[in-house]
Amino acid sequence: MKGFSIPLLAALALPIPINAEGYGVDVAKRQLPEINKLEQEARKFYMMRAYDVACGKQLEANLLIKMNFDGLEVIAPSVDWLEYRKKNVNLAGIYCKANQIPNSYKYPSTPYNPTAPKPFNTNTNASKNMRTPY
């Protein structure tokens, strides 16, 4: 029994080699669709003027790019990921700064309603038909 337990203990005590690069690539492969989804959602919310949500989505996408940078370079070597990240950081700055604009500039005072009645006629020709007091 002693003869069997010592080699077994030695085998279990030795560290198991792990391919860290392969692990990073696998994680990046799973995260890339999530990054793309977050970027699309950020653009969509920005167009909807939901600036705070757009800012959050873009910041989350930037964080995933930063966390998976090495793996992304391996799975998509044709992309300049450093430049891509710089552009996304700038985009996040735009989305987040738009959130700081006062509401009076973001939203019109009354929403556009195509079925609303037209305002009073301000035609300039109508003033010609008015009588003058002289």
Q: Which residue has the tokens 């696998």?
A: 26
Percent of the chain with pLDDT over 70: 57
pLDDT in tens, 107-133: 555 555 556 555 555 555 555 555 555
What is the distance in angstroms between the CA of the first residue and the CA of the last residue of the chain?
127
Cβ 51 vs Cβ 98: under 8 Å: yes
- The pLDDT, as a whole number, for residue 124 is 54
Q: Which DSSP string do the residues of 25-45 spell out, in sequence order?
A: HHHHHHHHHHHHHHHHHHHHH
Confidence category of residue 30, pLDDT binned at 50, 70, 90: very high
Predicted pLDDT at 16: 58
Which tens digits make up the pLDDT trace of 33-88?
A: 999 999 999 999 999 988 889 999 999 999 999 999 999 999 989 989 899 999 99
Q: Tens digit of pLDDT for each residue in 15-24?
A: 555 555 677 8
**pLDDT above 50 for 104:** no
Cβ atoms of 70 and 24 closer than 8 Å: yes
